[in-house]
Structure 1
């Protein structure tokens, strides 16, 4: 059926739960202070069933420490917009090349056999440095987690969508980058910025590859977000570089990502989108 130049009144009236009946996997959703948790809550509030991936050993090694997973899950369940939706969680070390495909399969099975939305939010923190400090091991660790695992997740997700009897609307992939292409770059995190830059560069290619399956692919740069990793004078100095006078909060990029998952964003694909609140670099 051809598209009309203007929507009908019925087409303009949207379900107040725009993701009702949809399913989503959000990786790296193990901390209530993180972006993944905020994204999962937004998707759940919009009506989606959500699978929360976590890798607690990584968080335990970081200065901020791990979180109580039962409270993470409870925090997502409390905002469920659709009483028939579910929230499920499960672990996975995505540095293992076998785990991405397993995770896609496990999440789809837990959510009723279908997976509509993939938000690859996870990343490796630490194990990095300036140009004179990095070594092959650092580069390999970041490649395995920040890039290879994301591509393998997208590959497994694409195979799942291709196996459907016919293309289904609502397919979404959202990846995360870090503003490494903005002014100044990230000279103190060479390995991380290289691998995140690779995802940004692959966005349009992946969007083209998945387009036939009615899947959009976009990458979000959330800008500086307060995920409990910085305090003190540096924190205040960065806040002053935002027109609003505050850091980005996890729900700031989460609102954008949740919108990209809705039907309202079905014409947006192959883009790297900055959500930086006017941050002055």
Structure 2
């Protein structure tokens, strides 16, 4: 029996990258996992199939975030498969590398809608589904604490807002025994960073050089931190910002 046996998890943006790594790890620990995706149904089904292939339990939910009514639609889809959730991982997010002089209002509004507004209302609409003693884990970014990539200013701002949400939500939900934490990855080897890491040799070398551990992170590196916070072992950690950058901020 895994440490999360009998629990249900919802991971947003779980069809690929960090989200897929988290979904697979939580399932390996025994949780039944709702694999949310925005548009890539095929990738979500691949994640579900990978979980089931090793004896885990999962189901896919397709709802595009950043649109009016997205949180309600997500929970309505979830309700067709489960009657409550123990672990909520707000992982879905979009980024951008436009400098301040180029970003326009539409793009700014979109990144805040997906990265800040959606997690807020997913929690808000899910309060009666989130079981006492549960977990809320928000995937932040090392960029909320460093100006190392200033062209991602709007994206970094959204993660700073998400960290404040984490901090205050921990006090709002603490009386129910629910912990709330942010996990902040650094540069992780996913399809989102493929151009940087694999487009040129210099990109990969630079990314490895800024880590105190001398390598680029993997989705599993982040997923293991999330799994700790989701387990009983993480019961006394709440309201925290957990650095999962591999020492990139040192």
Asked if 1:75 is matched to 2:75, the reply is no
Aligned to 2:174: 211
Change (3 A) 1:264 1:172: same
Query: Contact between 1:92 and 1:103, CA under 8 Å: does it hold in 2?
Result: yes
Query: Contact between 1:107 and 1:115, CA under 8 Å: does it hold in 2?
Result: no
Query: Contact between 1:47 and 1:80, CA under 8 Å: does it hold in 2?
Result: no
The separation in 2 between residues aligned to 1:69 and 1:172, in whole angstroms, is 23
CA displacement, residues 74-98 of structure 1 (integer Å, 9 cap, x when unaligned)? 11222345xxxx3100211111131
* 1:175-254 to 2 correspondences below 5 Å: 175-228=138-191, 229=193, 230=196, 231=198, 232=200, 233-254=202-223
* RMSD of aligned Cα (Å): 1.9
Q: Runs of 4+ in structure 1 displaced over 6 angstroms?
A: none
Query: Contact between 1:158 and 1:210, CA under 8 Å: does it hold in 2?
Result: no
The separation in 1 between residues aligned to 2:216 and 2:87, in whole angstroms, is 27
Aligned to 1:13: none
Shift of 1:38: 0.5
Shift of 1:181: 3.4
Higher helix share: 2
Aligned to 1:10: none
Query: Contact between 1:186 and 1:193, CA under 8 Å: does it hold in 2?
Result: no
Provide the TM-score with structure 2 as the length reference: 0.90
Query: Contact between 1:138 and 1:191, CA under 8 Å: does it hold in 2?
Result: no
Query: Contact between 1:117 and 1:261, CA under 8 Å: does it hold in 2?
Result: yes
Aligned to 1:267: 236
Shift of 1:280: 5.4
Query: Contact between 2:95 and 2:152, CA under 8 Å: does it hold in 1?
Result: no
Shift of 1:71: 2.1
Q: Secondary structure at the match of 2:64?
A: coil
Shift of 1:41: 0.6
Within the candidate set 27, 46, 50, 1:44 is matched to 27
Aligned to 1:29: 14
Structure 1: state its 5+ residue gaps.
1-15, 58-65, 162-166
Provide the TM-score with structure 1 as the length reference: 0.81
The separation in 2 between residues aligned to 1:108 and 1:265, in whole angstroms, is 27
Aligned to 2:246: 277
Higher strand share: 2
The separation in 2 between residues aligned to 1:184 and 1:68, in whole angstroms, is 33
Asked if 1:148 is matched to 2:117, the reply is yes
Q: Secondary structure at the match of 2:54?
A: coil
Within the candidate set 69, 80, 93, 1:123 is matched to 93
Structure 2: state its 5+ residue gaps.
none
Aligned to 1:61: none
Asked if 1:17 is matched to 2:17, the reply is no
- The number of residues matched between the two structures is 244
Q: Secondary structure at the match of 1:73?
A: helix
Change (3 A) 1:208 1:109: farther
